[in-house]
Amino acid sequence: MMQRKRKSKRAQPALKAIWRANIDDHPIGLAWSPEGNILAVAGVSGPITLFDGADGAVQRVLPGHALDTMAISWHKDSRLLASVGQDGKVRLWDAETGAQRSEMAGGASWVARVAFCPAGDWLVSAAGRKLRLWNSGGELIREYPDANSTITDIKWRYDGKQFAISAYNGVVLYDPEQAEPLRRFEWQGSTLTLEWSRDGKYIATGDQDSTVHFWITASGQDLQMWGYETKVLELAWSFNSRYLATGGGTQVVIWDCSGKGPANTRPIMLEGHQQLIKHLEFQRQGMLLASGGNDGLLAIWKVKKNKPVMLADAVFRAPIAGLAWSPDDRRIAVSDESGTLSIAAVQGN
Partner 1 sequence: MMNAVDTRVPVAVLTGFLGSGKTTLLNRILTENHGKKIAVIENEFGEVGIDNDLVIGAEEEIFEMNNGCICCTVRGDLIRILGHLMKRRDKFDYIMIETTGMADPGPVAQTFYVDDDMQQKLHLDAIVTLVDAKHIWEHIDDSDEAKKQLAFADVILLNKIDLVAPEDLERLEARIKSMNSMAKIYRSRDAVVEMDKILNVGGFNLDRALDIDPKFMEPEYPFEWSGIYQLNPGTCEWVMGEGPDPTMGAALLPLANTGLAAKEATLMDAVLTFSDDEQAIKAGEMMRLGKGQYNQLVLNESGETVFNIEIQQPGYYMLFTEHHPDEFDARLRGADSVPDPLEAREYKPDHEHDEEVTSVGISVPGDLQLEKLNSWLSQLLQVQGQDIFRMKGVLSVRGWDERFVFQGVHMLFDGRADRPWGEELRHNKLIFIGRNLDRAALENGFRECLAA
Check: CB of residue 166 under 8 Å from CB of residue 158: no
256 lies in the site for partner 1, by CB under 8 A: no
Q: Which is nearer to partner 1, 189 or 261 (CB)?
A: 189
CB atoms under 10 Å from CB of 10, counted, come to: 8
Longest dimension (CA), the chain: 59
- Judge whether 334 and 323 are in contact, CB under 8 Å: yes
Q: How many residues bind partner 1 (CB under 8 A)?
A: 31
Identify the sign of the CA torsion 220, 245, 257, 285.
Answer: positive
Q: Which is nearer to partner 1, 194 or 312 (CB)?
A: 194
Task: For residue 185, count other CB atoms closer than 10 A to its CB.
Answer: 22
Q: Which is nearer to partner 1, 79 or 231 (CB)?
A: 231
The letter for the amino acid at 260 is K
Our CB check for partner 1 shows the closer of 94 and 222 to be 222
Q: For 3, which DSSP code?
A: P
Among 71, 112, 311, 344, binds partner 1 (CB under 8 A): 112
Name the residue nearer to partner 1 (CB basis): 67 or 315. 67
Over the window 268 to 297, marking each residue x when it contacts partner 1 by CB under 8 A and - when it does not, the resulting string is: --------x-----------------x---
Q: Determine if 68 is a binding residue for partner 1 (CB under 8 A).
A: yes
Least distance from C-beta 147 to partner 1, angstroms?
A: 11
Residue 190 near partner 1 by CB under 8 A: yes
Q: How far is the CB of 190 from partner 1 (least distance, A)?
A: 4
CB-neighbour burial class of residue 45 (10 A; exposed 0-12, middle 13-18, buried 19+): middle
Q: In sequence order, what are the residues at sequence separation of 6 or more whose Cβ sits closer than 8 angstroms to the Cβ of residue 307? A: none
Which residues 6+ apart lie within 8 Å of 262 measured at CB?
A: 214, 223, 225, 244, 255, 256
CB of 121 to partner 1, least distance (A): 30
**Should residue 130 be labelled a site residue for partner 1 when binding is judged by CB under 8 A?**
no
DSSP 81-124: EEEEETTSEEEEEETTT--EEEEEE-SSS-EEEEEE-SSSSEEE
CA distance 236 to 197: 9
Residue from 28, 80, 171, 277 in contact with partner 1 (CB under 8 A): 28
**Contact pattern from residue 140 through residue 179 relative to partner 1, giving x for each residue in contact according to CB under 8 A and a dash for the rest:** ---------xx-x---------------x-----------
- Closest separation in Å from C-beta 70 to partner 1: 7
- Indicate which single residue of 67, 105, 140, 141 sits in contact with partner 1 (rule: CB under 8 A): 67
Q: What does DSSP say about strands 202-207 and 211-216: parallel, antiparallel, or unpaired?
A: antiparallel
x/- string (CB under 8 A) for partner 1, residues 191-230? Answer: ----------------xxx-x------------------x
Told to check if 79 binds partner 1 by CB under 8 A, we report no
- Site pattern 44..63 for partner 1 (x: CB under 8 A): xx------------------
Task: Please state, in angstroms and rounded to a whole number, the distance separating the CA atoms of residues 7 and 268.
Answer: 22
Q: Which helix (H) or strand (E) holds 345?
A: strand 340-346
Positions in the binding site for partner 1 (CB under 8 A): 25-26, 28, 44-45, 67-68, 70, 86, 108-110, 112, 128, 149-150, 152, 168, 187-190, 207-209, 211, 230-231, 276, 294, 337
